[in-house]
Each structure stands twice: as structure tokens, then as C-alpha cells.
Structure 1
Amino acid sequence: MIRQFTILRIFYLKLLIPSVFISLLLSFQGGFSASDFGLCFLLILPLLHYFVYELRLKNEYAFYAHFGFSRIFLWMLTVILSIITNLITTFL
């Protein structure tokens, strides 16, 4: 169980830090608001997932598949994480 969380942390470390940074930069362009950040994060996280893991590091899916994470599961988790973040920031 802990190993799976560590593997997911490795996966999302490449995505979350740039996504949060880019979303903050985009939301500060027109005056910062939490809902703008959530909307930017909703769009940026799946976009970065596509660019990083589908175009640049597509062979790394085999590493994650070895630990039981399919490509579809990782995509669903990315989309769910971005939607949850958007919903939380919308209601703040």
C-alpha cells in the first residue's frame, strides 16, 4: 500500500508542481481569485499529463504498469484530481 502511494507520488511530482506554478501565474494575470486558479488547474493538469507522459515520456507507462497502474487509471486519477481541485476552489 505504501509502495503504491510512493509510485503515485513519483508520477504526480512531475505534474503537480508545474501545474500549480503555471496555474498561479495564469490566475495572477487578471487579479488572483481562487476560482480562476481552479479553472486554470482544471485545464493545465491534464494538458501537462498529455505533454509529459504521452509525448515526452511515453515509455514510463510500462514502469507504472509494473506496479498495477494502467494508463486509463492514471488518466482518470488526473482528471478526477483536477475536477476536485476546481470544485474546492470554486466554493471558497
Structure 2
Amino acid sequence: MRFLKNILLFQRKIVFISYAIAVLIGLVFGGDLKVIGLIFLCVSPFVHFFFYEVKNKNQYYYYYNLGLTNTKLWISTVVFGIINVLILAII
């Protein structure tokens, strides 16, 4: 449970900005929920890269002390995007 809580703490910054960008781009391409989900899947790794590799590189140490490596954080971003695609495809 603690692992999931730490992952959600990490994803908090990424999700809101990624959704905003995905909805804006999705509206340009028709506004279908499946399209927004796919765009979110593509945008979230770029937002992750920008926030944690370019802008706040030292924050990885915080998550490393919580037991999360860079690989786990990148995998969580991709898995979170896939889950969102599946949920939006069902709706």
C-alpha cells in the first residue's frame, strides 16, 4: 500500500498537466475519449521527462529514499497511461 501511495505522490504533478494537454490536443482531433487517452499515453512520458529529468533532476533522490528507482517511476508513468487508455476506451 505504501508503494502505491508513493507512486501516486510522484504521479500527482504529471497527471494534471498531461490531462490538460491531452484534452486540448484531443479536442483539435475530434474530442473522442479514445483519442484523448492515446494522446495522454504519449504526452505523459514527455511531461515526466520535462519535470523530473530537465527541471527538477534532484527530486529523484527524494523518491529513491522512498524506495522508488528511476526505472520504477518510468514504468509507473507508462502503466498509468495504459490504464487511462483502457478506462477511456471502455467509456
| TM superposition score normalised by structure 1 | 0.87
| Partner of residue 71, structure 1 | 70
State whether residues 4 and 67 of structure 1, in contact with CA within 8 Å, keep that contact through their aligned partners in structure 2. Answer: no
Partner Cα distance (1:14, 1:40) in 2: 17
| Partner of residue 13, structure 1 | 12
| Partner of residue 33, structure 1 | 32
**Helix, strand or coil for the counterpart of 1:58?**
coil
**Helix, strand or coil for the counterpart of 2:58?**
helix
Percent identity over the alignment? Answer: 32
Unaligned 5+ runs, structure 2: none
Structure 1 residue 86: deviation in Å?
1.3
Partner Cα distance (1:84, 1:12) in 2: 13
Deviations 1:53-82 (A, max 9, x none): 011111100000001011100100111111
Unaligned 5+ runs, structure 1: none
State whether residues 27 and 36 of structure 1, in contact with CA within 8 Å, keep that contact through their aligned partners in structure 2. Answer: yes
RMSD of the alignment, in Å?
Answer: 1.7
State whether residues 37 and 84 of structure 2, in contact with CA within 8 Å, keep that contact through their aligned partners in structure 1. Answer: yes
Matched to 1:46, the amino acid is: P
- Matched residue count: 91
